[in-house]
Chains A and B, each alone.
Chain A
């Protein structure tokens, strides 16, 4: 039990007309990097806010480090989806606030070192004049680098970051991972971050539709390109035979457990002739397409 950092039991958060989080029970263990995946409005940010104590559950319970979250948990660092900085101040002053707010007088060298890590050189420039990427880097620095934390909740950390920024972030998260920190990562950009996750939770309409360890994802996916006229027949055939699949234009991606050749043979027999095909190991993206559903209602 000591290893459990976050634990929820039948956690529910309802607003006037929506149930944002619906009866979720989960536990997150120390040292894991958990990816929270789901479409807009699936409940990821609501769960983050419940963990940080910014909002309260309607039903059920949540414990972070074995206490009910109400804010002010010193072991937790939270990076919000939206930019949360003091725009009239410089990057250095923003970082100074982080230290002062903890009751610590900041050391000049320490802040210089953090600024160097996030590649912010112009320390006299006000934050409001920063690019979105620089603002994001600074916010990440304020959350991750300025204080010793054990648990990090990073909500859409790649928002506004360019390619270099995403690589920098991945390196930073990897470092935290090796230090044994626990990280919860919400992101729309699964492909960008898949290789740093150890676990995943897929949300669909406020519920967890799938969860597990990344190294335990089994199966393969057969991708076939077929003629537009054949799509409806192929769809009907795959549905009838209980296959998991998704359609993207003229490409169908079908989850398979056994030999793909037998499936191709059956398709030929049905009069469906793929123009081309390729096969790959089932990835988190396939899991996402399988379990994230098609809700797109932004909250």
Chain B
């Protein structure tokens, strides 16, 4: 049963203090922003008139798109690197096989990101009820579904980057550092060679964000970047292709790699 194998992956990273700290800080940040926006009249960001369930869900999704990079890179690195850290690759590969072991990890990561994205919507609904408790919850799915897809793909790309960098370096922290530095290097290269940006994941994911989060443009705190926007479908397919490519590279590395016992 696949669900049991996913449970095994969650169990492996259950008591990692570093992971707990990063995720707690991230959750506190999300709640802090909500507090400033919906509760704290002196914050300068206080704008409760905007904050219905639909808006808060979109806002949380956008927030996680922008600040979720590090947490999901850390999650990806831990899921991938826990075996390297504990020398348990030997045990995983001999019992489940090369492809299967990496496939289970990838599915676990996809499942985790999906949970994270959906929890942001749930958090948005709870937050809206905190502001006006008896308000009817109304969500326009035609707006929310593209946003869910955008956030999911954006975070999955980052998580896979962390996963891949850890597979390459065989170290959790090496993978995290590499995954954090790589986008900065790509950004620098794009600055000097503008055409390079058309080959980057960030370019298309940003395009997705611009198209799908238009409903937040009235918010004085949000300013969407101005860039050559591709149609939603094109950006979505390109992002998906990049994510699938990263996944295939991960699988190929694990297929070919020799492991020490």
Where the two chains meet, the residues of A that have a C-beta atom closer than 8 Å to any C-beta of B are: 45, 48-49, 52-56, 70-74, 76-78, 80-89, 93, 96-105, 126, 142-143, 147, 155
Contacts and interface: CB of A to CB of B under 8 A. Distances in A.
B86 interface: yes
A105 B2 CA distance: 11
Interface of B: 1-2, 4-5, 7-8, 11-12, 14-16, 82, 86-88, 90-98, 100-101, 258-261
Given A53-B94, A83-B87, A85-B86, 20 more contacts: A49-B258, A49-B259, A49-B260, A49-B261, A53-B93, A54-B260, A56-B258, A71-B93, A71-B101, A72-B95, A72-B96, A72-B97, A73-B94, A76-B94, A78-B94, A80-B87, A80-B261, A84-B90, A101-B8, A104-B4
B46 to A, nearest CB: 42
Contact of B261 (A48, A86, A105): A48
Contacts of B91: 78, 80, 84, 142-143
Given A86-B88, A100-B11, A72 B93 contact: yes
A78 B2 CA distance: 23
Contacts of B2: 103
A55 B256 CA distance: 9
Contacts of A73: 94
A143 to B, nearest CB: 8
B98 A88 contact: no
Contact of A54 (B4, B15, B90): B90
Contacts of A84: 86-88, 90-91
Question: What 5 A-B pairs have minimum CB-CB distances, sorted nearest first?
Answer: A72-B97, A100-B8, A88-B15, A71-B93, A55-B258
Q: Majority SS of interface residues in chain A?
A: loop
B38 to A, nearest CB: 37
A98 B95 contact: yes
A97 B90 contact: no
Nearest to A72: B97
Contacts of B12: 86, 89, 97
A177 to B, nearest CB: 21
Contacts of A104: 1, 4
B7 A100 contact: yes
B92 to A, nearest CB: 7
